[in-house]
């Protein structure tokens, strides 16, 4: 476990801060959208199925990383304007955030049904930025010394934490209550009515735009501020550092074995000599890491299938049977678990593939309970107790998925496979969203309460 003094040694805190702020832009728009869904589902025509539409739109934006991957494969690496592409994406994200704030309520008729067209358009543009960040931002941070990667990942986690804090302050007004409502024709009927949140969805989206502006400024500083530029390393320097670290480990191990052998020959079995080699056993040899990359990428894809694609699509069905309050708590606390676990991983890093597999399996078991709550919708499981259990399950799953993703990113970094890591993230997320969209909208597995029904 790393001490705080070790953490501060040999790093520039300003670069850490800039990396965190830059990392916030990676998914803040989409994460902000998810935590705002408890407000949106009650105001937009798609109702409970809105998350499945948005998940699919987010994954359609994978045309961004696919296009960049093709460009990266065809163009010489030295001629790939990575920094300019990132700058353009952040500017696009800022503009799309403003458009979302101004036009999210505008709907139109499509195929005989009312749809949230402007919301879908601006969500697609924001998703284009966020999805492409998976194959651009991580490799860009690879240009800096390794100590700053976790700072970026903390920022990536904060992209869910910050909107969650704003959503908690906003509130959803509690569960609907029955009130007499006068219709346009003058008749009065009993209908479910929810109290208004403390501030509007437009104000929330403007706040997200402000965070995008901050992230854009942080990237400009990382790219052109002399202090930050000095923290970058060339490819040759990076290989040299890793080779030096590997040679140092092998040299220490050989020296320890030599001392042990000399002591055994002299008739002295010093246990201290054996203990001196324990530190080297904690370091995963580069060849072992490279050998396990396919397994790591498969687990990452499976985790993202659920965390980024399938589960967000069915979150409303899992939570709304217990009321708006449970849905609001799940959306916010689940998002807050992400950065907390990323920060935790900075001090308790996981370098064991076996532990990663164990945590992944545990997260899948908890996901089974969440799936059961969604399939039994709109009937709640376990009565009043089910609401609390659902909140706990979603928070635990969010924390486990976050820690697993950070651990796999660290192992892939050691193997020089950060780009593959980003590709696996997007493939898994896209497959999960497409699968969930088909199940939600083309089958009767997931049912919702008719919004016109009275609430007793």
Superfamily of chain region 7-231+286-442: MFS general substrate transporter like domains (1.20.1250.20)
> What was the pLDDT predicted at 19?
92
Phi, psi of 188 (to 5 degrees): -115, 130
| The pLDDT of residue 229 is above 80 | yes
Enclosing H/E stretch for 399 = helix 383-414
> Which region among 14-23, 25-34, 239-248, 278-287 has the lowest average model confidence (pLDDT)?
278-287
Report the residue count for the chain: 456
Average pLDDT over residues 211-225: 93
Mean pLDDT value across residues 178-202: 67
* 106 CB neighbour count, 10 Å cutoff: 11
pLDDT digits (tens, 9 = 90+) for 249-293: 444 444 444 443 443 333 333 333 322 333 333 333 444 445 578
The tokens for 11 are 């790093």
**Does 22 score more than 90 pLDDT?**
yes
* Per-residue model confidence as pLDDT tens digits over 122-171: 999 998 998 888 788 888 888 888 888 878 878 887 887 788 888 888 87
Predicted confidence at residue 189, as pLDDT, reads 63
> Percentage of the chain surpassing pLDDT 90?
17
Please give the helix or strand (H or E) that residue 115 lies within, else none: strand 113-115
Q: How confident is the model at residue 233 (pLDDT cuts 50, 70, 90)?
A: confident
The reported pLDDT for the residue numbered 122 is 94
Residue pair 212/25 in contact (Cβ under 8 Å)? The answer is yes
Q: For the ranges 232-241, 246-255, 279-288, 412-421, which has the lowest average pLDDT? A: 279-288
Written as one string, the DSSP assignment of 267-326 is T---HHHHHTTHHHHTSPPHHHHHHTHHHHHHHHHHHHIIIIIIHHHHHHHHHGGG-HHH
d(Cα 405, Cα 138) in Å, to the nearest integer? 13
**pLDDT of res. 259:** 42
> What CA–CA distance (Å, rounded) separates 443 from 293?
36
DSSP string, 161-224: HHHHHHHHHH---SS-EEEEEE-TTS-EEEEEE-PPPSS-HHHHHHHHHHHHHHHHHHHHHHHH
* % of the chain surpassing 70 pLDDT: 77
Q: Where are the domains of the chain?
A: 7-231+286-442
pLDDT for the residue 206: 94
158: exposed, middle or buried (Cβ count in 10 Å: 0-12, 13-18, 19+): buried
Encoded tokens for 213 = 């502006």
Please tell me the distance from the alpha carbon of residue 151 to that of residue 137, in angstroms, as a whole number: 13
Judged against a pLDDT cut of 90, whether residue 44 lies above it is answered with: no
* pLDDT at residue number 252: 44
**Does 430 have pLDDT greater than 50?**
yes
User: Which pLDDT belongs to residue 241?
Assistant: 47
Per-residue pLDDT at 391: 92
Provide the pLDDT for residue 279.
35
More confident residue, 334 or 84: 84
Burial 306-342 (b: 16+ CB within 10 A, else e): bbbbbbbbbbbbbbbbbbbbbbbbbbbbbbbbbbbbb
Residue 437 and residue 53 in contact, taking contact as beta carbons nearer than 8 Å = yes
Helix, coil or strand: residue 2: coil
Coil vs helix vs strand at 232: strand
Q: Which tokens hold the place of 402? A: 């976050």
Instruction: For residue 291, count other CB atoms closer than 10 A to its CB.
Output: 12
Mean pLDDT of 322-347: 79
Integer CA distances (angstroms), 103 to 59, 202, 206, in order:
21, 9, 12
Average pLDDT, the chain: 77
**Residue-level pLDDT at 80:** 62
pLDDT in tens, 343-363: 777 677 777 888 888 998 999
**Residue 29: HSE in the Cβ half-sphere, 13 Å Cα cutoff:** 34
The pLDDT of residue 177 is 57
Question: How high is the pLDDT of residue 249?
Answer: 40
The percent helix, strand, coil of the chain (3-state, each to 5) is: 75, 5, 20
Burial 159-190 (b: 16+ CB within 10 A, else e): bbbbbbebbbebbbbebbeeeeeeeeeeeeee
pLDDT of residue 320: 81
pLDDT score of 287: 40
Can you tell me the distance from the alpha carbon of 152 to that of 26, in angstroms, rounded to the nearest whole number? Answer: 10
């Amino acid at each position: 476990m790393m001490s705080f003094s070790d953490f501060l040694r040999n790093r520039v805190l300003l670069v850490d801060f800039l990396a965190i702020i830059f990392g916030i832009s990676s998914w803040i728009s989409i994460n902000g959208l998810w935590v705002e869904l408890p407000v949106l589902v009650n105001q937009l025509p798609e109702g409970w199925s809105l998350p499945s539409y948005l998940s699919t739109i987010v994954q359609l934006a994978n045309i961004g990383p696919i296009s960049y991957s093709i460009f990266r494969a065809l163009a010489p690496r030295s001629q790939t304007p990575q920094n300019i592409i990132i700058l353009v994406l952040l500017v696009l994200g800022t503009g799309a955030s403003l458009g979302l704030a101004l036009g999210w309520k505008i709907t139109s008729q499509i195929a005989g049904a009312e749809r949230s067209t402007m919301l879908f358009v601006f969500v697609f543009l924001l998703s284009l930025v966020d999805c492409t960040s998976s194959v651009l931002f991580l490799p860009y941070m690879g240009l800096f010394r390794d100590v700053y990667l976790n700072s970026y990942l903390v920022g990536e986690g904060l992209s869910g934490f910050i909107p969650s804090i704003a959503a908690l302050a906003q509130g959803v007004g509690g569960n609907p209550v029955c009130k007499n409502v006068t219709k346009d024709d003058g008749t009065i009927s009993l209908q479910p009515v929810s109290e208004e949140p403390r501030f509007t969805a437009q104000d929330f989206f403007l706040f997200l735009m402000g965070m995008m502006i901050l992230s854009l400024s942080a990237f400009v500083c990382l790219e052109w501020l002399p202090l930050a530029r000095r923290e970058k390393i060339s490819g040759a320097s990076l290989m040299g550092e890793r080779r030096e670290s590997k040679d140092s480990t092998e040299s220490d191990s050989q020296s320890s074995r030599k001392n042990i052998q000399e002591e055994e020959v002299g008739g002295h079995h010093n246990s201290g000599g054996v203990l001196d080699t324990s530190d080297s056993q904690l370091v995963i040899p580069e060849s072992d890491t490279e050998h396990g990359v396919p397994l790591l990428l498969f687990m990452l894809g499976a985790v993202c299938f659920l965390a980024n694609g399938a589960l967000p699509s069915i979150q409303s069905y899992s939570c709304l049977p217990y009321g708006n309050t449970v849905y609001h708590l799940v959306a916010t606390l689940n998002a807050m678990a992400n950065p907390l676990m990323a920060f935790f991983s900075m001090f308790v890093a996981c370098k064991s593939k076996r532990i990663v597999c164990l945590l992944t399996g545990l997260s899948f078991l908890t996901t089974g309970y969440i799936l059961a709550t969604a399939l039994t919708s709109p009937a709640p499981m376990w009565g009043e107790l089910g609401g609390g259990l659902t909140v706990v399950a979603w928070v635990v799953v969010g924390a486990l998925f976050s820690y697993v993703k950070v651990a796999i990113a660290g192992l892939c970094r050691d193997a020089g496979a950060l780009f593959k890591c980003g590709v696996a993230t997007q493939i898994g997320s896209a497959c999960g969203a497409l699968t969930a969209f088909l199940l939600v909208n083309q089958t009767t597995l997931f049912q919702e309460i008719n919004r016109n029904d009275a609430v007793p």
